[in-house]
Amino acid sequence: MTAVAATALLLVTTAKDQGPEKVTSAASKECAPWRMSVYMNKQPTPGERETAFVCANRQRLTFNGRYAHIPDVHLVKIGRRLCEVSLRNDSREMQTVMETRGFVVNTEENTKALGYLCPALNRRRFAEEEAQRKREQDVIATAERRCASLPDHRPPARPSLRARATVWVAQTGMLNVFEEGSDTVYPSSLDRAFANKVVGATPGDLTILTADTYTHVCVAVEAYDKRPPVEVEGWEKVVEVGYQSTDGEMVFIDDEGEVEKGLPDLAIHDAGRYRVRVHMRGAKAALADDGDARQAFLIIVYPGASTRTQVLR
């Protein structure tokens, strides 16, 4: 037998002895701790990292399932390549890898899977998230300081209730009351608010426009048992509209439908007809580079049957 033939026979025999390369199943006992459905921020030990990464991939939640059945050793090799690219944070290189490999690296599931394999990615991600939280906390603290620094309104009559709050306005660019029992009508409360550029109302639906989106505004509210005197001094716009409370819960809600913290129910006489007087200032300042918490509102509510819109300033 020649040396070449002997070598070939040895390679074939060795391959047969080794058997097929391992392909861990998502349903296997090994994968039980790493199922995304029970993910609770558990992190693998150094000896568990490769298994955790492979199991996350086998669930077909990562990498679009494209590599769901390749041997573990090759999947781990691909994962380590992705870790290197991710750590370099080169957007052009990342795009090339995603196009050639079919990966979408920056999904939630893929981020978790790569974090299993490469703890350095997790450390960087946690540091970035902490920095983002700190920036958000600083923005909130600054907004609250600005709103707190505004002088209290000194009403000529005693309100039944009053409150102040720093309110985050997200993508809608409005303060909104939306009650059960409201009907879709035309023109809508938003259409009516656009007409006078401040406030609009339909039964169970009140809209107050803000100058910008994704910003804080300073809001003061007051509710009275009877009509208080009109005050326009110091305000850029003052508009009063009629409002019908359909279920007796006149509360401001955010974009997620949750009640705005710090602002009470203004329907002090339950369901029925009210007048809503909205005072506004700081619209231009709110659009400046440093415009967060620069716009202020005073919202006055009292019982009243009129549905007329009055532009008082």
Task: Note the pLDDT tens digit of each residue in 41-75.
Answer: 678 899 999 998 888 888 766 665 667 678 999 88
96-110, 147-161, 203-217: the lowest-pLDDT one: 96-110
pLDDT tier at 13, thresholds 50, 70, 90: very low
Question: 65-74: long-range contacts (C-beta < 8 A, 24 or more apart)?
Answer: 66/102, 66/103, 69/23, 70/23, 71/20, 71/21, 71/22, 71/23, 72/21, 72/22, 72/23, 72/24, 73/21, 73/22, 74/21
- Alpha-carbon span 93 to 105, nearest angstrom: 12
Query: Alpha-carbon torsion 145, 146, 147, 148, what sign?
Result: positive
The domains found in the chain, sorted by start residue, are 19-123 (no CATH), 153-311 (2.60.34.30)
Higher pLDDT, residue 105 or 305: 305
Q: What is the pLDDT of residues 239-286, one digit of tens each?
A: 999 999 999 999 999 988 899 999 999 999 999 999 999 999 999 999
Cis peptide bond prior to 187, omega within 30° of 0: yes
What pTM does this model have? 0.73
